[in-house]
Structure 1
Amino acid sequence: MTWRWEYVPDEETVAAGAPPSFLVEVEKKADELVRAAEALYLHGPGWQAADEGAKHAFVAGGFFVYMITPRSELVSIWQITPDPHA
Protein backbone atom coordinates (compact mmCIF):
# COMPACT_ATOMS: atom_id res chain seq x y z
CA MET A 1 0.00 0.00 0.00
CA THR A 2 0.98 3.57 -0.35
CA TRP A 3 -0.38 6.66 1.34
CA ARG A 4 -2.87 8.74 -0.62
CA TRP A 5 -5.77 11.12 -0.17
CA GLU A 6 -9.21 11.08 -1.74
CA TYR A 7 -12.60 12.71 -1.57
CA VAL A 8 -15.20 10.51 0.11
CA PRO A 9 -17.60 9.49 -1.32
CA ASP A 10 -16.14 11.11 -4.48
CA GLU A 11 -14.84 14.42 -5.82
CA GLU A 12 -18.03 15.27 -7.68
CA THR A 13 -20.11 15.02 -4.50
CA VAL A 14 -17.68 16.71 -2.09
CA ALA A 15 -16.29 19.47 -4.33
CA ALA A 16 -19.38 20.36 -6.34
CA GLY A 17 -19.57 24.10 -6.92
CA ALA A 18 -16.35 24.98 -5.08
CA PRO A 19 -14.14 27.62 -6.69
CA PRO A 20 -11.18 26.08 -8.55
CA SER A 21 -8.66 28.24 -6.66
CA PHE A 22 -10.02 26.93 -3.35
CA LEU A 23 -9.78 23.33 -4.56
CA VAL A 24 -6.12 23.91 -5.44
CA GLU A 25 -5.50 24.97 -1.83
CA VAL A 26 -7.43 21.98 -0.46
CA GLU A 27 -5.43 19.58 -2.61
CA LYS A 28 -2.09 21.17 -1.64
CA LYS A 29 -2.97 20.79 2.02
CA ALA A 30 -4.16 17.22 1.45
CA ASP A 31 -0.75 16.42 -0.08
CA GLU A 32 0.91 17.86 3.05
CA LEU A 33 -1.33 15.78 5.30
CA VAL A 34 -0.42 12.63 3.38
CA ARG A 35 3.31 13.33 3.80
CA ALA A 36 2.85 14.00 7.52
CA ALA A 37 0.74 10.87 8.05
CA GLU A 38 3.25 8.76 6.16
CA ALA A 39 6.01 9.95 8.52
CA LEU A 40 3.89 9.60 11.67
CA TYR A 41 2.35 6.20 10.93
CA LEU A 42 5.38 4.31 9.61
CA HIS A 43 3.60 0.95 9.83
CA GLY A 44 0.13 2.15 8.84
CA PRO A 45 -1.46 -1.18 7.88
CA GLY A 46 -0.39 -2.60 11.24
CA TRP A 47 -1.96 0.27 13.21
CA GLN A 48 -3.91 -1.15 16.16
CA ALA A 49 -5.21 1.94 17.96
CA ALA A 50 -8.41 3.80 17.15
CA ASP A 51 -8.34 6.41 14.41
CA GLU A 52 -8.14 9.99 15.63
CA GLY A 53 -11.50 10.97 14.17
CA ALA A 54 -12.49 13.92 12.05
CA LYS A 55 -10.35 17.06 11.96
CA HIS A 56 -10.53 20.44 10.28
CA ALA A 57 -7.87 21.98 8.05
CA PHE A 58 -7.97 25.67 7.25
CA VAL A 59 -6.65 26.91 3.91
CA ALA A 60 -6.88 30.12 1.92
CA GLY A 61 -10.52 30.47 0.95
CA GLY A 62 -12.13 28.19 3.55
CA PHE A 63 -11.65 24.87 5.32
CA PHE A 64 -12.25 21.16 4.94
CA VAL A 65 -13.02 18.15 7.14
CA TYR A 66 -10.77 15.12 6.87
CA MET A 67 -9.79 11.93 8.66
CA ILE A 68 -6.58 9.93 8.68
CA THR A 69 -7.03 6.15 8.58
CA PRO A 70 -3.59 4.59 9.13
CA ARG A 71 -4.69 0.99 8.42
CA SER A 72 -5.79 2.05 4.93
CA GLU A 73 -2.97 4.59 4.51
CA LEU A 74 -5.64 7.08 3.58
CA VAL A 75 -6.47 10.72 4.22
CA SER A 76 -10.16 11.08 3.37
CA ILE A 77 -11.75 14.46 2.72
CA TRP A 78 -15.42 14.40 3.62
CA GLN A 79 -16.53 18.01 3.35
CA ILE A 80 -15.16 21.24 1.95
CA THR A 81 -16.48 24.65 2.92
CA PRO A 82 -15.43 27.66 0.85
CA ASP A 83 -15.52 31.02 2.61
CA PRO A 84 -18.39 32.94 0.98
CA HIS A 85 -16.50 36.18 1.56
CA ALA A 86 -13.24 35.09 -0.06
Structure 2
Amino acid sequence: MSWKWEYAFGAEEVARTAPADFLATVERKADELVRAVEALHVHGQAHRGVDPKGGDVIVPGGMFTYQVVVRSERVYVVQITYLGF
Protein backbone atom coordinates (compact mmCIF):
# COMPACT_ATOMS: atom_id res chain seq x y z
CA MET A 1 0.00 0.00 0.00
CA SER A 2 1.20 3.52 -0.55
CA TRP A 3 0.16 6.84 0.91
CA LYS A 4 -2.74 8.63 -0.78
CA TRP A 5 -5.35 11.21 0.07
CA GLU A 6 -9.08 11.10 -0.56
CA TYR A 7 -12.27 12.96 0.20
CA ALA A 8 -14.36 11.68 3.08
CA PHE A 9 -17.85 12.37 4.41
CA GLY A 10 -19.45 15.56 3.10
CA ALA A 11 -16.27 16.87 1.51
CA GLU A 12 -16.92 14.74 -1.55
CA GLU A 13 -20.27 16.45 -2.08
CA VAL A 14 -18.72 19.92 -1.82
CA ALA A 15 -15.99 18.87 -4.24
CA ARG A 16 -18.67 18.31 -6.87
CA THR A 17 -19.90 21.90 -6.65
CA ALA A 18 -16.82 24.00 -5.82
CA PRO A 19 -14.95 25.82 -8.60
CA ALA A 20 -12.25 23.82 -10.38
CA ASP A 21 -9.41 26.25 -9.59
CA PHE A 22 -10.23 26.14 -5.87
CA LEU A 23 -10.33 22.33 -5.91
CA ALA A 24 -7.02 22.21 -7.77
CA THR A 25 -5.45 24.24 -4.95
CA VAL A 26 -6.98 21.95 -2.31
CA GLU A 27 -5.68 18.90 -4.15
CA ARG A 28 -2.15 20.33 -4.45
CA LYS A 29 -2.09 21.01 -0.71
CA ALA A 30 -3.43 17.53 0.01
CA ASP A 31 -0.61 16.10 -2.12
CA GLU A 32 1.89 18.09 -0.04
CA LEU A 33 0.36 16.71 3.15
CA VAL A 34 0.68 13.16 1.84
CA ARG A 35 4.37 13.65 1.08
CA ALA A 36 5.01 15.13 4.53
CA VAL A 37 3.15 12.42 6.43
CA GLU A 38 4.73 9.68 4.34
CA ALA A 39 8.19 11.00 5.24
CA LEU A 40 7.26 11.06 8.92
CA HIS A 41 5.59 7.63 8.99
CA VAL A 42 7.68 5.52 6.60
CA HIS A 43 6.26 2.23 7.91
CA GLY A 44 2.63 3.31 8.13
CA GLN A 45 0.98 -0.11 8.24
CA ALA A 46 3.19 -1.16 11.15
CA HIS A 47 2.15 1.91 13.18
CA ARG A 48 0.83 0.98 16.61
CA GLY A 49 0.35 4.38 18.21
CA VAL A 50 -2.36 6.98 18.12
CA ASP A 51 -2.98 8.75 14.83
CA PRO A 52 -1.72 12.33 14.71
CA LYS A 53 -4.18 15.16 15.15
CA GLY A 54 -5.61 16.49 11.91
CA GLY A 55 -5.82 20.14 11.12
CA ASP A 56 -7.04 22.97 8.96
CA VAL A 57 -5.31 24.28 5.86
CA ILE A 58 -6.13 27.74 4.54
CA VAL A 59 -5.99 28.10 0.77
CA PRO A 60 -7.00 30.99 -1.50
CA GLY A 61 -10.79 31.02 -1.58
CA GLY A 62 -11.38 29.00 1.58
CA MET A 63 -9.98 26.15 3.62
CA PHE A 64 -10.14 22.42 4.25
CA THR A 65 -9.91 20.12 7.24
CA TYR A 66 -7.95 16.89 7.13
CA GLN A 67 -7.35 13.79 9.25
CA VAL A 68 -4.44 11.35 8.99
CA VAL A 69 -4.98 7.60 9.47
CA VAL A 70 -1.47 6.14 9.60
CA ARG A 71 -2.27 2.41 9.48
CA SER A 72 -4.41 2.97 6.38
CA GLU A 73 -1.74 5.25 4.90
CA ARG A 74 -4.38 7.86 4.12
CA VAL A 75 -4.92 11.56 4.51
CA TYR A 76 -8.66 12.21 4.49
CA VAL A 77 -10.05 15.59 3.48
CA VAL A 78 -13.09 15.63 5.74
CA GLN A 79 -14.44 19.14 5.16
CA ILE A 80 -14.08 21.78 2.46
CA THR A 81 -15.17 25.37 2.97
CA TYR A 82 -15.35 27.53 -0.14
CA LEU A 83 -15.74 31.20 0.70
CA GLY A 84 -15.36 32.60 -2.79
CA PHE A 85 -12.73 35.26 -2.15
Query: Structure 2 length as normaliser, TM-score?
Result: 0.89
Aligned-pair CA distance for 1:59: 1.1
Mapped to 1, the partners of 2:2 and 2:14 lie a distance apart of 23
Aligned-pair CA distance for 1:10: 7.1
Count of residues paired in the alignment: 85
Corresponding residue number in structure 2 for 1:36:
36
Runs (4+) of structure 1 moved beyond 6 Å?
none
Corresponding residue number in structure 2 for 1:66:
66
For structure 1, which runs of at least 5 residues remain unmatched after alignment?
A: none
For structure 2, which runs of at least 5 residues remain unmatched after alignment?
A: none
Corresponding residue number in structure 2 for 1:24:
24
Residues 5, 31 of structure 2: 8 Å contact kept:
yes
Cα displacement string for residues 18-76 of structure 1 (whole angstroms, at most 9, x for unaligned residues)? 11111000000000001111101011011111112331011111110101111000000
User: What percentage of residue pairs aligned between the two structures are identical?
Assistant: 47
